[in-house]
Structures are given as C-alpha cells and as structure tokens.
Amino acid sequence: MNESMILHHYDASPYAEKIRLMFGLTHARWQSLISPVQPPRPNVDPLTGGYRRIPVAQIGADIFCDSTLIAREIARATDCPALDPANVDAATAELMSRAEKQAFFAAITAIPPLRLLGTMLLAFGPVGTYQFAKDRAGLLKGGTVRPPKGAQAQAILDSLMETLETRLATQPWVGGW
Ligand SMILES: N[C@@H](CCC(=O)N[C@@H](CS)C(=O)NCC(=O)O)C(=O)O
C-alpha cells in the first residue's frame, strides 16, 4: 500500500481480527486506532455518518465501512486478489457466511451465561458491563435476528469446526489459492 490504512477497531472484534490477519499476511503497513467497544466513538463517529459497526478503515479522506469493503481494498492495494471476498468460490463464500452470521452469534451465546457475565465483569467492570449489555440488547431489539442459544449454538460452532477440519485435512488454506 502506498498510503497506510488506519484501522478503527477494538481487540475483541472478530471482524477486525479478520482484517488484522490480512495485514499480517500481506505485510501491509497500517495504523491502529482503538475504539471503545460501544458508541459514542468520538474518533470515528464524525467520519462514518451514523454507521456504527467496527471495523472501519480510512485511507486519507476515504472511509471504508464494512470488513468486506476493507478486505477488497487490501486485496487491491497489496495485489493479493485472493483476499477479495468477491473472488472466492461458492463453497468458501458459504463457509464465510456461516462463520460471519450464525457462528458470530453462536460464539457468544454458546458460553454459559454466568461465565459470560464473569468474563464481561473482568473486562469492563460492573458499570461497563451494564452499559455494554444494554447497548448490545438495544442492537438486537426490533431486529429479525434471533441468536441461537445453548446446545443449538454449540452445534453451530461444532459444525463449523468440523468443516474447517475437513478442509484443512486436504489443503493448506481454508479458501483461496
Ligand atoms: N458487516 C460488518 C459487521 C461488523 C460487525 O458486526 N462488527 C461488530 C464487532 S465484531 C460490531 O460492530 N458490533 C457492534 C459495535 O461494536 O458497535 C462487517 O463485515 O464489518
């Protein structure tokens, strides 16, 4: 990349981790700007005009909202077309969709509630945990997504892991070339 990308992100974001791994794989130069885990995010809110997801990337005055667009930009800038989600085969696209939709929620709801609470209390403290839970509950409110719970969530994760195991048994990459 000529001009390095600024990534607005936070450690625990799996979507941001996907992008951080792409930086590592391509040896791209990038700059990190850590955001709070929930709005308000004074560092990024003025740039995104209401888009509230993480990660967000910035190159000069250009802002990239959504990890698919960010991945495409990294693929273009580093001449690594295999990283462009538009270039993956149908089976890999299906796997990505499972990982980013069902498994994204299942990874949280498969954790026993008390353990999840303990983890959040350690990470955010009591007030932060209340604020975080309220924020995320608000995100789901009124939406059509109903996260899987308990055994159902675990089954989704197990099935994803099984698919990954099967693929990696015969090829060095989960997808791409
Ligand atoms: N389609 C988006 C989804 C990103 C997403 O849902 N990110 C989570 C964090 S991993 C998020 O923004 N959660 C709410 C928040 O942080 O405000 C993408 O691919 O970038």
Tell which wins on pLDDT, 172 or 63. 63
Domain chopping of the chain, boundaries: 5-87, 90-170
The DSSP letter of residue 133 is H
Which mutation among 37, 51, 52, 53 tests ligand 1's pocket best, with the greatest number of atoms within 8 A of CB? 53
Q: What is the pLDDT of residues 25-36, one digit of tens each?
A: 999 999 999 999
pLDDT of 31 = 98
As a whole number, mean pLDDT of residues 31-51 equals: 96
Q: Which of 9, 15, 65, 145 to mutate to test the pocket of ligand 1 (most atoms within 8 A of CB)?
A: 15
Euclidean distance between CA atoms 46 and 28, whole angstroms? 26
CATH of 5-87, one of 2.40.10.350, 3.40.718.10, 3.90.1170.50, 3.40.30.10: 3.40.30.10
Which residue CA neighbors atom 11 of ligand 1 most closely?
53
Distance 53 CA to ligand 1 centre (A): 4
pLDDT for residue 91 is more than 80: yes
Contacts of 154 (CB under 8 A, 6+ apart): 106, 110
Q: What is the mean pLDDT of the chain?
A: 94
Question: What pLDDT sits at residue 142?
Answer: 82
Secondary element (H or E) of residue 56:
strand 56-59
User: What is the tens place of the pLDDT at every residue in 75-86?
Assistant: 999 999 999 999
Model's pTM, two decimal places? 0.94
